Chain A
Amino acid sequence: MRRLARITPVYIEAPENFSFIENSNQFNNFLIQVHHALNEHKSIEVDHRNVTLQTPEALTTFLSVLADPKHQDTRQQGYLPQDPNQRQMFFDSGLCDYLKLNTAVKLPRPSGNIQRRKNFKVEPKTAYDLKQFAMKSLYGQDRRHQPLYNTFIELMANTHNHAGGNSSKEKWLASVYCQPEQGRTCFTFVDTGVGIFRSVSETMGRMKKMAIMLGIRNNQDFLKKLLNGELKSSTGMENRGKGIPMISQLAREGKIENLIVITNDVWANVSQGDFRWLDKEFPGTLWYWEVSKTESTI
């Protein structure tokens, strides 16, 4: 650690529109810069002063990079957004636990609108806690919401079984960001593993053969088939691989809204059937969705 103190940090300016969903390529380039600087130079200085808009999935993804155990021995410094609203959200995001601030500021009280959890296994109690936090924000009390609970369990299982490819178990980070005044809650589930398609190439020989048989030409085709349940799981067993299609079905039925998946070179708004390419690869998988307040129970 003493040696790190002498290293000049790599200066990186955060995009003004700090959103992975809305400003995907620029935000992804920012992440790539951060990854590279941490891996090669072990020290970064990230400037958020000009940030005018932040979205929860971007903050959670950035946090997952900083909190990655691979970057444990690095030095991470930063500047806060100047905009007071953005500053509150930045504090709430948990980034200040990792990013040492370059300016002395009095930390505001947490808004209580964000909850985060991380692990590498399937943690049913954590899925419940996150669901409960969201329901209390939306309705003032806990309510059952099986689609929400099931989505968390399926994603935890998916990360546990696939995200690391052939290597070690990959961690996931989940966040719930409540917007009670809009009657909406935003959920992010991110792993900085190898991403869905790289995971396929590393571990899923049989599935790759099937993809070729099914006439899949590229990663967008592959993701569509995966979401539609037209691919068997990487294990090649018929009884596996139902989790992701189930999440996709919940989105089609409107039980979870605005479902977005970003993995490797694909950006997909599953709820709207909008699939796009990213300019560069995102080394991981991001799942984002929303749940709105409704009068009926699910």
Chain B
Amino acid sequence: MNIQHNSVSQVQPSDILPHPFISIARDFSPYTGARYRTDGPGSGQEFREDILEPRFLQASEQGQKLRINLDGTEGYATSFLEEAFGGLARTYGVQRVLDHLEFQSLDEPLLTDEIEKYIRDTAGRK
């Protein structure tokens, strides 16, 4: 078997650090809400500002991908997803967000396409 080893100088930060990860159900709430904090608890804005954005910035600065696990919640309103991920893209740009976020869902695999669409749809908008 031909095994290749990276030399120390070739190792990237993402190879050493544990893969940054957010489970929305575990780290935020299994009962997600609507768009803004003013709408009520569990909003997309609350998730973005309190959980997603700091972890995204950290991952982005370290050249890593932040993995978002979407499973385990009761569901997602369109406004929650758009405000959380589209809102992030409105601030940091579509490409940077796509480069540093990765989505996982076994329950609803199509959700990841929907979220990527919300992110791409923000292009050119503030």
Chain A interface (Cβ within 8 Å of chain B)? 121-125, 127-128, 131, 144, 146-150, 153-154, 156-157, 160-161, 238-240, 242-243, 246
Contact = CB atoms under 8 A, between A and B. Distances in A.
Given A124-B29, A124-B32, A156-B34, A239 B122 contact: yes
Contacts of B118: 239
Contact of A238 (B42, B108, B121): B121
B102 interface: no
Nearest to A233: B79
Given A122-B33, A157-B79, A238-B121, A128 B74 contact: yes
B125 A239 contact: yes
Pick from A124, A238, A242 the residue with the most CB of B within 10 Å.
A124
B39 A121 contact: yes
A142 B73 CA distance: 14
Interface residues of B, number: 26
A157 B38 CA distance: 10
A125 B40 CA distance: 10
B40 A160 contact: yes
B63 interface: no
A149 B78 CA distance: 12
Given A148-B75, A157-B79, 11 more contacts: A124-B42, A127-B31, A128-B31, A149-B74, A150-B77, A153-B34, A157-B34, A160-B40, A238-B125, A239-B86, A239-B125
B40 A156 contact: yes
B74 A127 contact: yes
Of B29, B32, B43, most buried by chain A (CB within 10 Å of CB) is B32
11 contacts: A121-B39, A124-B32, A125-B41, A127-B74, A146-B74, A146-B107, A153-B80, A154-B34, A157-B39, A161-B39, A239-B118
Closest 10 CB pairs of A and B: A122-B40, A124-B31, A149-B75, A146-B75, A157-B34, A121-B40, A242-B78, A153-B77, A150-B75, A122-B34
From B32, B74, B125, residue with most partner A Cβ within 10 Å: B74
